[in-house]
Amino acid sequence: MRVLIDSNVLISAALFPNGVPCRAYPTMSAPPDGGTICEMDKTREIQVDIVRSGRKSLAVEIRQDGGVLVRAPYGLSQARIRAFLDAKRDWIETRRAAVLTRRQAADSLEKLTAAELDALAAAARTDLTERTARFAPMVGVTYGRVTIRRQRTRWGSCSAKGNLNFNCLLMLAPPEVRDYVAVHELCHRKHMDHSRRFWAEVERVLPDWRERRRWLRDNGELLMARLDRDGTGV
């Protein structure tokens, strides 16, 4: 459920799997029928998404737009979730500030021209086709077409038919990051999900995949910010 937090309202997110909607309560009164109360920022409104699943642990993520995502197990008490958020308050505020600063920097970057995008696409077609061919035997899979796209939301994809798509902006990333994306998509030929078996397959081929993914998460927004909205270049 989506939660908005500000200085005047405590938000109770209905975290039950039956989809009860969120409700807001004044700070002077307690929510009458459950939910997680979150008051994390006294000056700014923060969006918090709380998702319940069959997982066994709590986790918190900061999204690229500065929103906060909490993943929680079914049945975990409201008090436990609130205590978790309170314990993570400093980390959330620090990490969120860094994300918003990076986003501001991305918005100020110069956009790529049509000629520059054409050059990146041509280079990517050669580079990523070669990387895919090199890693496919290591993963132990075959694949169909390799297509290069200009996208603002994803680095690669694998279709049910085994066709692979890659973002031309990967040519702005280090070679080891391009290796990671190629292996990632090839591993989807075995597992069309992000299950433990999928990540185990990625790790078998690239033991340091977490470091490569971290680079992409930390810097990817800056790369994608150089693409204009329609992807045709300026």
Q: What is the DSSP letter of 110?
A: P
- CA–CA separation, 132 vs 162, rounded Å? 12
Shared-domain flag, residues 88 and 141: no
Q: Which of 86, 107, 128 is the last residue of a domain?
A: 107
Shared-domain flag, residues 132 and 46: no
Give domain status of residue 229, yes or no. no
- CA–CA separation, 137 vs 143, rounded Å? 11
Q: What is the pLDDT of residue 149?
A: 95
Shared-domain flag, residues 88 and 10: yes
Give domain status of residue 233, yes or no. no
Q: Structural domain of residue 99, as residue ranges?
A: 2-107
Shared-domain flag, residues 152 and 217: yes
Give domain status of residue 147, yes or no. yes
Pairing verdict, β 36-38 and 46-53: unpaired
Q: Which of 56, 78, 107 is the last residue of a domain?
A: 107
CB within 8 Å of 146: residues ≥ 6 apart: 125, 128, 129, 132, 163, 164, 165, 166
Shared-domain flag, residues 133 and 163: yes
Shared-domain flag, residues 92 and 186: no
Shared-domain flag, residues 34 and 10: yes
Q: What is the pLDDT of residue 230?
A: 64
* Residue 28 structure tokens: 């002077």
**CATH number reported for the structural domain that contains residue 145 in this entry:** 3.30.2010.10
Shared-domain flag, residues 78 and 162: no
Shared-domain flag, residues 218 and 142: yes
Shared-domain flag, residues 78 and 150: no
Q: Which of 90, 107, 124 is the last residue of a domain?
A: 107
- CA–CA separation, 174 vs 219, rounded Å? 11
Tens of pLDDT, residue by residue, the chain (234 residues): 333 433 222 233 333 233 333 333 232 233 333 333 344 444 456 767 889 999 999 999 998 788 899 999 998 887 888 899 889 999 999 989 988 888 887 777 889 999 999 999 999 999 999 999 999 999 999 999 999 999 888 999 999 999 999 999 999 999 999 999 999 999 999 999 999 999 999 999 999 999 999 999 888 988 988 888 666 655
Q: What is the pLDDT of residue 79?
A: 85
Give domain status of residue 209, yes or no. yes
Q: What is the DSSP letter of 189?
A: T
Shared-domain flag, residues 192 and 131: yes
Q: Where are the alpha helices (DSSP H) in 50-113?
A: 78-87, 89-107
Give domain status of residue 234, yes or no. no
Q: How many CB atoms lie within 10 A of CB 210?
A: 13
Number of domains in the chain: 2
Q: What is the pLDDT of residue 2?
A: 38
Sheet with 59-62: list strands edge to edge. Answer: 2-5, 46-53, 68-73, 59-62
Q: What is the pLDDT of residue 203?
A: 98
Give domain status of residue 162, yes or no. yes
Give domain status of residue 65, yes or no. yes
Shared-domain flag, residues 57 and 74: yes
Give domain status of residue 232, yes or no. no
